[in-house]
Amino acid sequence: MRLSRYFLPLLKETPSEARIASHRLMLRAGLVRQSSAGIYSWLPLGLAVMQKIAAIVREEQNRIGALEMLMPTIQPAALWQESGRYEDYGEEMLRLKDRHGVAMLYGPTNEEQVTQIFRDTVRSWRDVPRLLYHIQWKFRDEIRPRFGVMRGREFLMKDAYSFDLDEAGARRAYHKMFLAYLRSFHRMGLTAVPVAADTGPIGGDLSHEFVVPVASGESELFCHADLLTLPPPAEVPEDAAAAAAEVERFTQFYAASDARHDAAAFARRVPKAAQFCARGIEIGHIFYFGEKYSAPMGCRVQDESGKSRALHCGSYGIGISRLVGAIIEASHDARGIIWPWAVAPFRVGLVCLQPQDDACRRQCEAFYAHAQAADIEVLYDDREERAGPKFHQLDLTGLPWQAVIGPREAAAGQVELKARASGARRTLPWQEALVQIQSPPPADFGSQAAGAV
Ligand code: 5CA
């Protein structure tokens, strides 16, 4: 992508309403613009990141056999009257009437909607277990939307729903989801700690939230430090006992957020040197709630003996739009964002230092064309602009690699490569640079002598 044709409106001033780094950086680097309180437009760069996050979530959901579908944002109030949640949900629910006076609402979550679909179509024990999910906008009229996309009113969520014949089946689904979450967050470059949680308005008796330690987090996290370095599951076992054992590898450690923290248990179970306390942000939340919706809504199947049974269900959310903010909170410096490789909107920012110099421009164009042919996502700063603002923008937008070509590099057929995270740089023949930018900056980049000029 040529920057001269891209839409990347940067802000010079730090917006006064933005109190945390991710909110400031998302506005300054042209990722989002606020429409009204807690409601945002996603500009091309922000959307590209959100789509990469969604793609990782999708891959890991599909891997455990979850099936993607898409349910509407607007739901009939009658559905929520069936479950009894219409009155309970309170002012966070945006209620509307259509032109015929029918009560509708903008969905804050989809348990009722998916339960209705399932009950209207499924009859037999042969039709379960099933895991269904979608990635769809939600609306919650939060009393205090704040911190940009971290606590929005409109936000993008992946929500999955499991349907099983009995509790054992539902627990297996829960465990698979638990492990898929750890894999998903790890792939995004995040350390997410699973914490036993309260179930709130979703209901149920078993629940975990996944919390990323960041200084600006809304809750407090207390856990055993080993949880921060445990390797994620290499795979998600199909077998129920194997999946439960893998979950146990994480849940054996003490972990709680402030709502459930027990200082005495923490002191007893975690040696002082391993006690980790930090602020944290919840990026995912999973629930097992059994028959809470299936019983009142009549979501039943016949078991093998012909007996009618209400299904055992769970729901599993990931805050896709919140993750964009959470990743920035976890990965930035004074100059701007530092995107983890897996979610970077482009892999490399290519800067042409002197577009008016023919040789320089030709070399940049050629490098850009080769990179495109190799399927490397490049944001190519081809503008006639001074070097200072170009570098400033490169740091702000946080692409993992920075490739700079000035007249000197052009004459030598070289590219100066810089790793955004470490600041390490090397000047390489352009062919070598092309190979280098196909993978994330290695830890020892810049310290190798060979090829350095
Ligand atoms: N029905 C269940 C699971 S599908 C549910 O709604 N769970 S939730 O309320 O915990 O939301 C799931 C995830 O959505 C949260 O972990 C969080 O990451 C994200 N989320 C919730 N509220 C907001 C909000 N106001 N702004 C941004 N993300 C949010």
pLDDT for residue 453 is more than 80 = no
Going from the Cα of 382 to the center of ligand 1, the distance in angstroms, rounded, reads: 40
If pLDDT is split at 50, 70 and 90, which confidence band does 5 have? Answer: very high
Give the pLDDT of residue 139: 98
Select from 61, 285, 320 the residue to mutate for testing ligand 1; criterion: most ligand atoms less than 8 Å from CB: 285
pLDDT for residue 150 is more than 70 = yes
Give the pLDDT of residue 201: 73
Cα–Cα–Cα angle for 288, 294, 300, nearest 5°? 125
pLDDT for residue 450 is more than 60 = no
The 3-state DSSP class for residue 294 equals helix
Average pLDDT on 115-139 reads 97
Going from the Cα of 200 to the center of ligand 1, the distance in angstroms, rounded, reads: 11
Average pLDDT on 15-44 reads 96
H helix or E strand, kind and range, residue 329? helix 320-330
Backbone angles phi, psi at 255, to 5 degrees: -155, 125
Q: Give the separation between CA 65 and CA 68, rounded to whole angstroms.
A: 10
Q: Give the separation between CA 81 and CA 227, rounded to whole angstroms.
A: 41
If pLDDT is split at 50, 70 and 90, which confidence band does 15 have? Answer: confident
Q: If we measure between CA atoms, which residue out of 419, 421, 415, 422 comes closest to residue 453?
A: 415
If pLDDT is split at 50, 70 and 90, which confidence band does 452 have? Answer: very low
> In ligand 1, which atom is closest to the CA atom of 210?
16
Class of domain 3-337: alpha beta
If pLDDT is split at 50, 70 and 90, which confidence band does 448 have? Answer: low
- Residues in a beta bridge with 9: none
Residue nearest to atom 19 of ligand 1 (CA): 319
Going from the Cα of 445 to the center of ligand 1, the distance in angstroms, rounded, reads: 39
**Tokens 């699973």, located at residue:** 194
346-436: which CATH architecture? 3-Layer(aba) Sandwich (3.40)
Identify which has the larger pLDDT, 201 or 389.
Answer: 389
pLDDT for residue 428 is more than 70 = yes
Mean per-residue pLDDT over the chain, rounded: 95
If pLDDT is split at 50, 70 and 90, which confidence band does 446 have? Answer: confident
Give the pLDDT of residue 451: 45
Residue 193 near residue 211, CB atoms below 8 Å: yes
- Residues in a beta bridge with 67: 132
The answer for residues whose C-beta is within 8 angstroms of residue 283's C-beta and 6 or more apart is 185, 190, 192, 210, 211, 212, 318, 319, 322, 323, 326
424-to-24, 207, 214, 359, 448 alpha-carbon distances in Å: 26, 43, 25, 26, 10
- CATH topology agreement for domains 3-337 and 346-436: no
If pLDDT is split at 50, 70 and 90, which confidence band does 37 have? Answer: very high
Give the pLDDT of residue 199: 76
Q: What's the pTM value of the predicted model, to 2 decimals?
A: 0.96
Residue nearest to atom 5 of ligand 1 (CA): 317
**Tokens 């016949």, located at residue:** 302
Give the pLDDT of residue 12: 87
pLDDT in tens, 169-201: 999 999 999 999 999 999 999 999 999 988 777
238-to-130, 174, 397, 427 alpha-carbon distances in Å: 13, 12, 40, 48
Going from the Cα of 18 to the center of ligand 1, the distance in angstroms, rounded, reads: 21
Select from 210, 322, 324 the residue to mutate for testing ligand 1; criterion: most ligand atoms less than 8 Å from CB: 322
Give the pLDDT of residue 16: 86
Single-letter amino acid code for the residue at 78: A
Select from 32, 114, 151, 157 the residue to mutate for testing ligand 1; criterion: most ligand atoms less than 8 Å from CB: 157
pLDDT for residue 449 is more than 60 = no
> In ligand 1, which atom is closest to the CA atom of 283?
18
> In ligand 1, which atom is closest to the CA atom of 158?
4
Question: Which protein residues are within 6 Å of ligand 1, measured from CB?
Answer: 109, 111, 140, 142, 151-152, 155, 157, 159, 202, 282-285, 287, 315-317, 319, 321-322
Residue nearest to atom 29 of ligand 1 (CA): 319
Domain ranges in the chain are 3-337, 346-436
Give the pLDDT of residue 17: 86
Residue 175 near residue 69, CB atoms below 8 Å: no
Average pLDDT on 332-357 reads 97
Single-letter amino acid code for the residue at 245: A
Give the pLDDT of residue 112: 97
Going from the Cα of 71 to the center of ligand 1, the distance in angstroms, rounded, reads: 17
Q: Give the separation between CA 262 and CA 274, rounded to whole angstroms.
A: 16
> In ligand 1, which atom is closest to the CA atom of 152?
26
Residue nearest to atom 27 of ligand 1 (CA): 151
162-to-80, 264, 329, 444 alpha-carbon distances in Å: 19, 36, 31, 44
Going from the Cα of 318 to the center of ligand 1, the distance in angstroms, rounded, reads: 6
Going from the Cα of 352 to the center of ligand 1, the distance in angstroms, rounded, reads: 42
> In ligand 1, which atom is closest to the CA atom of 287?
3
